[in-house]
Amino acid sequence: QLRKFLKAGFDDSVKKAGWNIILNNPEFCIISKPLLAYEDINDPVERLRFAEKFLSFDALFPTVSNRVVYGYNRFRNKNPFSIQDSVVTFYLRNNQKATKVMLAGSFNNWQPHTIPMSKTDSGWVAYMKLKPGKYWYKFIVDDRWIVDGDNRLSENDGLGNTNSVFYVSNVVFRLPGFQSARRVYLSGSFNEWQERDLLMEKTSTGWQLPLYLAEGTHTYRFIADGKWMADPHNPDKFPNEFNDYNSVIRLGKPHLFFLKGFPDAKEVVLTGSFNKWRTDELFMQKTGEGWQFHYTLGPGNYEYGFRVDGYWATDTGNQQVITEPGKIAASSFVIDPNYTFRLKGFGDASAIYLAGDFNNWSPTSMPMKKEGNEWVITVHLSAGKHLYKFIVDGKWILDPANKLWEENEHHTGNSVIWIENQ
């Protein structure tokens, strides 16, 4: 693996082995792996137990995270695990000579002895009731841990273990008819409108594809033998840039956006970070007091603004206004705030902001408020790992109260925080 990395720059094998590439240039390279003083560190169970002393499994293996917008399963030699009334049938092909096979994963904190699999005429099965989301798993065949060789999805957990990945779907996209089509794809805002990423399965009545989608509003279309079309059986649609429509699916609770006033405006458009600032999609409805639009969003930190007859306008009812050089003025808000950042001291600072992977490292979208001898802000953080820094009067600093940090590409470091499932 190191030879390939040094000679040709191929780093996939090195990363899969659990190494982090810190620096790689013509002069020298640096790779690192945690030094774990543990006698059974080659045992995957012991590596996980060792890690749990410092991090919870909920933080390492979050079932639901708004970082995971969508997910789908890709298997070879066998169909994806069936899901019936939330019960997933895990299936391991062959291994007929094994005397004992167990199932372990993020759903049982990787306990190796709690989920026995039953032998069938073609392999082994186990049943687990799971809610929609992302799961990591392995099989234990006669005390030997193995990944699912028929599952094309696998990930390294950062502890030197490669685990198989399975998504429990919460949506099934269906396109009835089109039996003569050779291929039908699903494409949408959730996969950046990639044309040949989500191949649908042919059924006796048409085409379908189970998918896991995060909470929020998603737009999509079908592509049948190269021809794009909206979902003919879904009346919920948004206009698009091609003078056509995209179908819409909404998961979660709707949020009411309201712009007061502008009675003489002919057209008001809602736009924001949640739809990549498109100005041709969310046309607001006029009311007696202003303009409104119901838009479904999941937990998160958002920015938004309005286009009134072609001109930008901010929400006069929201004092949380972002002004960043070179960008439009926008308002911000948080759905389901669950974590408060605090920075003590810095009483002479005129302005302090929070920036991190949860707001695309924007230097002005999250101003902190001074309360007594500290600065505070409450935001939403999804389960898992997050990187962040404070910006004190334009100077980026690490969190002095947090000893956990890691290096970044600028060699200035980022503070690290782990969030468990709520």
pLDDT one-digit tens code per residue, 340-396: 999 999 999 999 999 999 998 989 889 999 999 999 999 999 998 999 999 999 999
pLDDT one-digit tens code per residue, 171-187: 999 999 999 999 999 99
The answer to whether the pTM exceeds 0.85 is: no
pLDDT one-digit tens code per residue, 196-217: 999 999 999 999 999 999 999 9
Q: Report the distance separating Cα 294 and Cα 180, nearest Å.
A: 39
* One-letter amino acid of 337: P
pLDDT for 322: 65
Q: Which of 110-124, 153-167, 338-352, 394-408 has the lowest mean pLDDT?
A: 153-167
pLDDT for 47: 67
pLDDT for 138: 96
Residue 7's pLDDT band, with cuts at 50, 70 and 90, is confident
Q: How far apart are the first and last CA of the chain?
A: 39
pLDDT for 17: 77
Show the 3-state SS of the chain: CHHHHHHHCCCHHHHHCCCEEEEECCCCEEEECCCCCCCCCCCHHHHHHHHHCCCCHHHHCCCCCCCCCEECCCECCCCCCCEECCEEEEEEECCCCCCCEEEEEHHHCCCCCCCECEECCCEEEEEEECCCEEEEEEEEECCEEECCCCECCEEECCCCCEEEEEEECCEEEEEECCCCCCCEEEEEHHHCCCCCCEECEECCCEEEEEEEECCEEEEEEEEECCEEECCCCCCCEEECCCCCEEEEEEECCEEEEEEECCCCCCCEEEEEHHHCCCCCCEECEECCCEEEEEEEECCEEEEEEEEECCEEECCCCCCCEECCCCCCCEEEEEECCCEEEEEECCCCCCCEEEEECCCCCCCCCCECEEECCEEEEEECCCCEEEEEEEEECCEEECCCCCCCEECCCCCCCEEEEEECCC
pLDDT one-digit tens code per residue, 212-266: 999 999 999 999 999 999 999 999 999 999 999 999 999 999 999 999 999 999 9
Do 57 and 106 meet the contact criterion of CB atoms below 8 Å apart? yes
Residue 55's pLDDT band, with cuts at 50, 70 and 90, is low
Write down the mean pLDDT value for the chain.
91
Residue 326's pLDDT band, with cuts at 50, 70 and 90, is low
* 12: phi then psi, degrees, rounded to nearest 5: -60, -45
Tell which wins on pLDDT, 122 or 327. Answer: 122
pLDDT for 284: 97
pLDDT for 365: 86
Residue 156's pLDDT band, with cuts at 50, 70 and 90, is confident
pLDDT for 15: 82
- Give the other-Cβ count within 10 Å of 107's Cβ: 24
